[in-house]
Structure 1
């Protein structure tokens, strides 16, 4: 790579990052906006790829996405994913099937710059469709004085033997 190509690449990279910051800046201005943006970034119709750059902008460096998965009939375990792991596992499936997740209830606690959000969700195949799943997203958020970040996103789906408690529903 010549110096000219390298300088062009660096210029392109900074222009792209500045565009992303401007485009998604409103998503990180409040707890409400970052939670809403998280749901919007993973939702979309069949045939549409998700805006992974938007989700990347919301997540702190090193953040984890942690679904709980069955290890047996009675035991559940966390599955620790990087954002890249999550995208690799979900990109094609979300594009092929369509998926819409929305918040139906929220409980929030804050101490200083740390916020813990219990966000009850429901999932649909289409925006108007009947919900096929519900659960709770546990989001750890941080405000660094300039913006909000998702530090971790840990979730569990409702099951027949693990129903959502009423306090997490409207």
Structure 2
């Protein structure tokens, strides 16, 4: 079984939010390993994301950020998109890093900025996508925090919904006024890499 990266968890998000899955999102399109952000020339930048002020409740705490992180991707296919709200959660230099395991067992990595993630994820969201956090582990020190957020997601398909789960690894910081997400990295669960008990709800 081959694992496909999902974006945002996140869409998280997320959702290859080119072969994505962001928190965000559903299964990602298969893509070769790369060590730098995908070129915007290789994507059709078609989704307009207005600049808006952040919702104070979204950015006042780590909990607020995480609630918004998942809320923005749980929108009906015919519903109003929340990409503008989504963008307010992240630092301007944020990177979304989708990891997967190829059919040959080789790790693969794809990197996006926020606009690239939105453009890659929108077709998946249009099909119908939902993502729910089922477990969270948070470590914090001073003005920095790390969150491991385990998710379950459903992507509608032509025959039956695709169901999958994975883990979002999220770095956050506080600048004295609000919290920001600096990076989101995720991996979908695979038979060769089951999610450990420490990242799953207690039974």
TM-score between both structures, scaled by the size of structure 1: 0.80
Q: Which of the numbers 141, 148, 156 marks the counterpart of 1:118?
A: 148
User: Structure 1: which 5+ residue stretches go unaligned?
Assistant: 1-15
2:168 counterpart residue number: 137
Equivalent residue, structure 2, for 1:93: 124
What RMSD over aligned residues (CA atoms) do the two structures have, in Å?
Answer: 2.1
Structure whose residues are more often helix by fraction: 1
- Structure 2 residue corresponding to 1:106, chosen from 120, 131, 136: 136
Deviations 1:118-153 (A, max 9, x none): 001000248xxx881110000101111110101001
Query: Which one has more relative contact order, counting CA pairs under 8 Å at least 6 apart?
Result: 2
Q: 2:62 maps to what in 1?
A: 31
Q: Distance in 1 between matches of 2:191 and 2:58?
A: 35
List structure 1 segments (4+ residues) > 6 angstroms apart after TM superposition. none
- For structure 2, the 5+ residue unaligned runs are 1-49
TM-score (norm 2): 0.68
Match of 2:98 in 1: 67
In structure 1, the residue matched to 2:74 is 43
Question: Is residue 124–residue 155 contact of structure 2 (8 Å, CA) maintained in 1?
Answer: no
Cα separation, 1, equivalents of 2:94 and 2:62: 17
Aligned residues: 149
Bigger radius of gyration:
1
